[in-house]
């Protein structure tokens, strides 16, 4: 369902162009989970942003559901994100002015397919029962990330993209959040692409790839 072919990407910096991706190929089938590993600055997040259509490659092609993202106009890419993708960020990016429940339902509502049963189940599974009317800043870090995961999964996306989902959490919490993430992805039937530098996070996933010097290679299990 996600098909990345020979993607190149470089950024202009005051010190000259910075090559981040140099001919990356990546395929992900429906329901499959994949860990994208690499050092800081190796271009993991850039690849994720390209996959989400948040950014466009200089060369090469990103295809989602057999459609080339680069050929889509911005509103269509936005629609694709809204309806097909879920995004989980390291910094959570919750909406501070919405309460827990509204944050959770936000993307599903934007996609126009909110399911009360699934939302209720998510609240319970995320351990946020009783805190629906709290605001994000009143939650702990782990709770905030669980909420961000729930928000991404609420519309049951075909593909969940997670960027260091446990990067801001302590080890215990990280473990709990990860387990929950995998559980829920399975329940939702989504494919999963996780960007992480942590082998612990990568271990339970179907596949692991490592990005270094702009190219992908198999990562050790």
Partner 1 sequence: MSPLGVALATLLSHYRRHPGQLAMLLLGLWVAGALWSGVQAINASARDSYARAEALFDADLDRLTPGDGRPLDRRDFVTLRRAGLPVSPILEGEVTTASGERLTLIGIDPLTLPGDSAFASPGADGGLEAFLAPPWRTRLAPETLAALGQARRAAPGATPALAGGQRLPPLAPTPALPPNTLVMDIAAAARLLERGDGLSRLVVPADTLATAPPGYRLVRAEQRLAPGELTASFHLSLTAMALLALIVGLFIVQAALGLALEQRLGLLRTLRALGVPGRTLVGLLAGELVLLGLAGALAGIASGVGLASALLPDVAATLSSLYGAEVGRTLRLPWHYWLGGLGVVLGGLLLAGSGVLWRAARLPVLGLGQAQAWRAGFQRQLRRQALGGAASALAALGLWAWLAVRPPGEGLLAAFGLVAALLLAGALWLPPLLAAALDGLGRRMHRRPLLQWALADLQLQLPRLALAMMALLIALSANLGVGSMVGGFRLTFLDWLDQRLVADLYLRPPPARLDEIDAWLAERPEVAERLATAGGETTLLAIGDAETPRQSVALFGITPGDAVRPGWPLKATLAGREAAWRELAGGAAFVNEQLAIARGIAPGDRLTLAAPGGDERLLVVAVYPDYGNPRGEVLLATPQLRRRFQAPPGSLGIVLADGAAAKPLAAALRSRFALDATALRDQRQVKRLATGIFERTFAITRALNALTLAVAALALLATLLAQARERRRRLAPLWALGVPRGRLVRVQLAQLGAAALATGLLALPLGLAVSACLVDTINVAAFGWRLPLHVFPGEMLLTLATALGAALLAAALPSLTLWRTPPRALLAEEAP
Which residues of this chain interact with partner 1, rule CB under 8 A?
49, 52, 54-55, 74-75, 78-83, 85, 87, 89, 93-98, 102, 106-107, 109-112, 135-137
Distance of alpha carbon 32 from alpha carbon 200, whole angstroms:
18
Closest C-alpha to 21, from 52, 48, 42? 42
* DSSP symbols for 50-74: HHTTSS--SEEEEEETTEEGGGS-H
Q: Which of 198, 150, 142 is nearest to 174 (CA)?
A: 142
Nearer to partner 1, 127 or 141 (CB): 141
Terminal Cα-to-Cα distance of the chain (whole angstroms) = 24
If the CB atoms of residues 112 and 220 are measured against partner 1, the closer one turns out to be 112
Nearer to partner 1, 83 or 187 (CB): 83
Return the ∠ at Cα 91 (arms to 84 and 219), rounded to 5°: 70
Please state the closest distance from residue 221 (CB atom) to partner 1, in A.
Answer: 31
Q: Which is nearer to partner 1, 94 or 123 (CB)?
A: 94
C-beta of 199: minimal distance to partner 1 in Å? Answer: 27
Contact 1, 174 (CB under 8 A): no
* Closest distance to partner 1 from the beta carbon of 139 (Å): 10
We find the least distance from the C-beta atom of residue 41 to partner 1, in angstroms, to be 15
CA atoms within 13 A on the CB side of 98: 15
Question: Half-sphere exposure of residue 167, counting CA atoms within 13 Å on the CB side?
Answer: 16
CB of 200 to partner 1, least distance (A): 26
1 versus 56: smaller Cβ distance to partner 1: 56
* Minimum separation from the CB atom of position 193 to partner 1 (A): 15
Whose Cβ is closer to partner 1: residue 46's or residue 210's? Answer: 46
């Amino acid at each position: 369902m996600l098909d990345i072919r020979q993607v190149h990407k470089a950024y202009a910096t005051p010190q000259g162009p910075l090559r981040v991706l140099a001919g990356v190929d990546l395929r992900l089938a429906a329901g499959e989970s994949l860990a994208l590993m690499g050092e800081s600055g190796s271009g993991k997040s850039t690849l994720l942003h390209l996959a989400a259509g948040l950014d466009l490659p200089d060369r090469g092609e990103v295809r989602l559901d057999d459609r080339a993202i680069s050929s889509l106009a911005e509103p269509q890419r936005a629609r694709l994100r809204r309806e097909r993708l879920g995004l989980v960020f390291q910094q959570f990016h919750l909406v501070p002015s919405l309460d827990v429940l509204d944050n959770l339902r936000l993307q599903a509502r934007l996609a126009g397919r909110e399911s009360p049963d699934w939302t209720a189940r998510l609240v319970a599974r995320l351990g946020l029962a009783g805190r629906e009317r709290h605001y994000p800043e009143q939650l702990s870090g782990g709770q905030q990330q669980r909420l961000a995961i729930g928000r991404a999964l609420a519309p049951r996306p075909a593909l969940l993209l997670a960027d260091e989902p446990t990067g801001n959490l302590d080890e215990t919490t990280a473990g709990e959040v990860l387990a929950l993430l995998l559980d829920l992805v399975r329940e939702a039937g989504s494919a999963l692409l996780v960007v992480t530098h942590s082998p612990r996070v990568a271990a339970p996933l179907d596949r692991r790839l490592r990005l270094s010097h702009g190219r992908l290679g198999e990562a050790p299990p």
